[in-house]
A = this chain, B = another copy of it.
Amino acid sequence: MKRALVIGGHGTLGKAIVAKLNELSVEVVTAGRSSGDYQVDMTSTDSIKALFEAVQSIDYVIVAAGQTHYAKLEELTPENNMISVQSKLLGQVNIVLIGQHYVNDKGSFTLVSGIIKDHPIAQGASSAMANGAIDAFAKAAAYELPRGIRLNSVSPNLFEESAEKYRDFFMGFNPVPVERVANTFIQSALGIETAQTFKVY
């Protein structure tokens, strides 16, 4: 039986991914800042190391977490931009850099980026930066992973489930059901592709 580690497994997206994995009889371990089977602080390399030491025997690492800072560009500063850098950007990169030494042969990493990289929105420059870093890192790092381990990113559109809340920021975007995004995480994690960005737009 294959085992998946879903970081952010109790968020809107994470829960949908866990449901899909359960349907497929993949054993699921979840991790989150405050909920889940294990606690992890993505901004701490010690915390990420401790997570991989604790979970043991993981085939599929799936990240459905990562904070970004939204601010008007004029109010975006080197300091508040670090929220995105430490969490969504370096948090995910470090999960791969550390996790590469733990994940099972022929396992996979699936990271999350987002549509803002391709279609910017107001106040989204910091998020776009993090997304661009993740897509490019996944593409490059994938080719150097050992033991048949794969690595992709999934770039989702706005979720239907949060479309009303964020409508004013995503004018005219066509939201997608989170279930479709979750399915694409499965495609990345359990399929054969590597070094790809799966866009769910």
Which of B45, B90, B122, B136 meets A144, CB within 8 Å?
A: B122
Q: Confirm or deny: A176 has a beta carbon within 8 angstroms of a beta carbon on chain B.
A: no
Q: Confirm or deny: A141 has a beta carbon within 8 angstroms of a beta carbon on chain B.
A: yes
Interface size class of A (residues with CB under 8 A): 35 or more
Q: Confirm or deny: A172 has a beta carbon within 8 angstroms of a beta carbon on chain B.
A: no
Cβ-defined contact, B131 with A136, below 8 A: yes
Give the number of times this chain occurs in the complex, counting copies.
2
**A77 contact set on B, CB distance < 8 A:** 97
Q: Confirm or deny: A137 has a beta carbon within 8 angstroms of a beta carbon on chain B.
A: yes
Cβ-defined contact, A133 with B140, below 8 A: no
Q: Confirm or deny: A89 has a beta carbon within 8 angstroms of a beta carbon on chain B.
A: yes
**A45 contact set on B, CB distance < 8 A:** 78-79
Q: Confirm or deny: A100 has a beta carbon within 8 angstroms of a beta carbon on chain B.
A: yes
- When chains A and B are docked, how far (Å) is the Cα of A74 from the Cα of B97? 7
Point out which of A45, A98, A123, A137 has the most chain B C-beta atoms below 10 A from its C-beta.
A137
Which of B78, B121, B133 meets A129, CB within 8 Å?
A: B133
Cβ-defined contact, A137 with B141, below 8 A: no
Chain A residues in contact with chain B, CB under 8 A?
45, 72-74, 76-79, 81, 85, 89-90, 93-94, 97-98, 100-101, 116-117, 120-137, 139-141, 143-146, 195
